[in-house]
Amino acid sequence: MAILARILAVVASLLLAAHFLRRGQLPLAAGAALLPLLLLPRLRFALRALQLLLLAGALEWLLTLAALARLRAVHGLPVGRLAAILGGVALLTAAAALLLQARRVRERHAHGLESAGASVAAFLLTAALLAIVARVVPRPLLLLERFLPGSAPLAIVALALYAGLVVERLSDPARTARWRTRVWLLFSFVFFAQLALGLLLDERFLMRPGHLHFPIPALIAAGPVYRGGELFMVILFAATVLLVGPAWCSQICYLGAWDDRAARAKRKPFPLPRWRTRLRFGTLALVIGAALALRLTGAPPLVAGAAALAFGLGGVVVMLLVSRRRGAMVHCLSYCPIGALATTLGRLSPFRVRIRGAGPAGEAGCDRCMRCRLACRFDALGREDVARGRPDPTACTLCGDCLASCPGGFLEYRFPGLRAERARALFLVLTVSLHAASLGLARI
């Protein structure tokens, strides 16, 4: 049965590839032909993704049957043989998906069984988000679609698979810090590579050709103040923060990954003064005030752009000279005004990280060994924070790096009505889906 299931999966994939090739959809044909590769890894998520895609293929055959049947009916032609052929192919494709439930197949794809549900959820959510973007936005925002018209479904499936794989890697707390920083750095690389390619090679890499915006997080707040409009980034940032709290600062911010790398140059982080929070809010007030002053004085875009660039370069200097020496993300914690907004507005999100047994009640649990502080590059777990049983809300970005550092496993995610494991799984699904969806869009 296992061999038959794999053979049917390959045959169904090749039939779909031939179908798309006949319609002239070369990207989709290539994608369908590559589907059997999902049988190679032993991940349960890969098996589930292949099943879902084959079921989507069966639906494609049925939609094709309906369209051709309507066309033949208009011309008074019989549809019986057409229905038998395409209906049979649809049944074969669906059967290929269902037969992959065979016990021997499932036993071979048993790796990552615990995280398979969350990975599939991230796969579906990412695909849904990108499908909405592809459907609603007139100008293609999916980067691949700009270069290969008709490739949106292929890009959506590829990014959805990426989201599922990232969730699988992050699900184990022992691997969270390593993989989170890797995918975050990848996001930053793609972001700035698009900027370079858009400036040097092809404007299609830019979100709005002819309109360049400096990739400086502070401009999310300062830009609309200076321009008096264009709230797209503000709305996107606010929606992200409402969904996953301050995780924008540890998953999606394109510049924060640099500060993270700088801080990790030192093995152990050193505590930062508590007035760092006031400094960050002061920077926020200064940035917005400067943007408003530039607008009221009629400063030309060249002057405003020079001021923004100077502020951004100042942040890079902070990373290189201070974050590297302190081992903590000083740029994000003291210099970046968007970090202040993220941690403040992020309190509206229901997600929290808590420490069992470390609060005033004194129940059995955390013994305050402070190993978690050494794992936190956001300086959110000082002695006072651990004593209160929660990270510093002005610094914690819910990154989860600290979870594996606790010998007793007392650090955990919280979400109303959910157990700690399910709360963390939901958090990963949301953050990774937003990360993966953003990865495939044209930006800057």
**CB neighbours of residue 187 within 10 Å:** 20
Q: What is the pLDDT of residue 358?
A: 64
**CB neighbours of residue 249 within 10 Å:** 29
Q: What is the pLDDT of residue 317?
A: 96
| Architecture of the domain spanning 351-417 | 2-Layer Sandwich (3.30)
Terminal alpha carbon distance of the chain = 51
Q: What DSSP state is assigned to residue 173? A: H
Beta bridge partners of 353: 413
The answer to whether residues 304 and 225 touch, using CB atoms and an 8 Å cutoff, is: no
The alpha carbon torsion through 221, 224, 227, 233 (nearest 10 deg) reads 110
Burial of 393 (0-12, 13-18, 19+ CB in 10 A): middle
The answer to whether residues 280 and 334 touch, using CB atoms and an 8 Å cutoff, is: yes
Q: What is the pLDDT of residue 210?
A: 59
Give the separation between CA 274 and CA 271, rounded to whole angstroms. Answer: 9
What 3-state class would DSSP assign to 354?
strand
* pLDDT bracket for residue 214 (50, 70, 90): confident
Give the separation between CA 78 and CA 201, rounded to whole angstroms. Answer: 53
Provide the whole-model pTM: 0.92
Q: What is the pLDDT of residue 228?
A: 83
Q: Please determine, for residue 360, whether its predicted confidence score (pLDDT) is greater than 60.
A: no
Give the separation between CA 402 and CA 381, rounded to whole angstroms. Answer: 9
Q: Please determine, for residue 361, whether its predicted confidence score (pLDDT) is greater than 50.
A: no
Per-residue pLDDT reduced to its tens digit, 66-124:
999 999 888 888 889 999 999 999 999 999 999 999 999 999 999 999 999 999 999 99
The rounded radius of gyration (Å) of the Cα atoms in the chain is 25
Q: Please determine, for residue 367, whether its predicted confidence score (pLDDT) is greater than 70.
A: yes
CATH 3.30.70.20 in the chain: give the residue spans: 351-417
Mean pLDDT is lowest, of 182-191, 201-210, 419-428, for: 201-210
Distance of CA 431 to the CA centre of its chain: 5
Measuring CA to CA, how many Å separate 81 from each of 10, 11, 213? 25, 21, 57
* pLDDT bracket for residue 53 (50, 70, 90): very high
Q: What are phi and psi of 355, to 5 degrees?
A: -115, 115
Measuring CA to CA, how many Å separate 408 from each of 355, 358, 365, 372? 10, 12, 8, 11
Distance of CA 295 to the CA centre of its chain: 34
Q: What is the pLDDT of residue 402?
A: 93
The answer to whether residues 93 and 118 touch, using CB atoms and an 8 Å cutoff, is: no
* pLDDT bracket for residue 235 (50, 70, 90): confident
Per-residue pLDDT reduced to its tens digit, 123-176:
999 999 999 988 888 778 888 888 998 899 999 999 999 999 999 999 999 999
* pLDDT bracket for residue 438 (50, 70, 90): confident
Please give the mean pLDDT across all residues of the chain: 91
Q: What is the DSSP string of 28-58?
A: HHHHHHTGGGGGSS-BHHHHHHHHHHHHHHH
